[in-house]
Amino acid sequence: MNRRTWLQRLFAAAAGGAVAGNTLAAAGPKDVDALQKNWRMLLAEGVRPPSPAEKVKLANDDWKKRLDRTQYNVLREEGTERPGSSPLDSEKRAGVFACAGCDLPVFTSDMKFDSGTGWPSFFTTIPGVFDTKTDHILLYARTEYHCTRCGGHHGHIFNDGPRPTGLRYCNNGVALKFIPKSAKA
């Protein structure tokens, strides 16, 4: 049994309910707080995450050297990758998802769920890692979120996620890199 399944069953038993799929349907706000506080245990051995306070500001030419073309389009120009194109959408190992622009840890594998949208989706974040703004690109208001450290665009927040938050952080996979949990950690 993997860690996600174990946590789901624990939360379901505590709430007296069942958990469907790989969402934390029976989890409560205290469970989310625990996930947000204990993310460091999922980092690979020897990885020291940067602080959100350590801002990364680069010229466009430097960003173009650091990122590939698709990453640059998403992170710096607020583009969107094709749905179903990211292998991180089906990533199921324990670990941490970090910003591809600056290495700031932003999500853990326990925050991830399968939304069926074709993009990696999460119901909460590591606290303090994103800033938000409203965009009207599709003629209606959407909440866009950006890495607080480098300003990189990650995706949009929707109100159709699973319990306990009801949120779906719909993230571009190219805006993330996955750091698997160390077997020794």
pLDDT tens by residue, 53-90: 999 999 999 999 999 999 999 999 999 999 999 999 99
Phi-psi region of 177 (alpha: psi -120 to 50; beta: other; left: phi over 0): beta
Query: How is the chain split into domains, by residue range?
Result: 3-180
Residue with tokens 């927040």: 157
Asked if 99 is an active-site residue, the reply is no
Q: Which one is catalytic: 99, 102, 147, 170?
A: 170
What CATH number does domain 3-180 carry, 2.170.150.20, 1.20.210.10, 3.40.50.300, 2.60.120.10? 2.170.150.20
**Tokens, residue 87:** 């292998």
What's this model's pTM, rounded to 2 decimal places?
0.82
pLDDT band at 20, cuts 50/70/90? very low
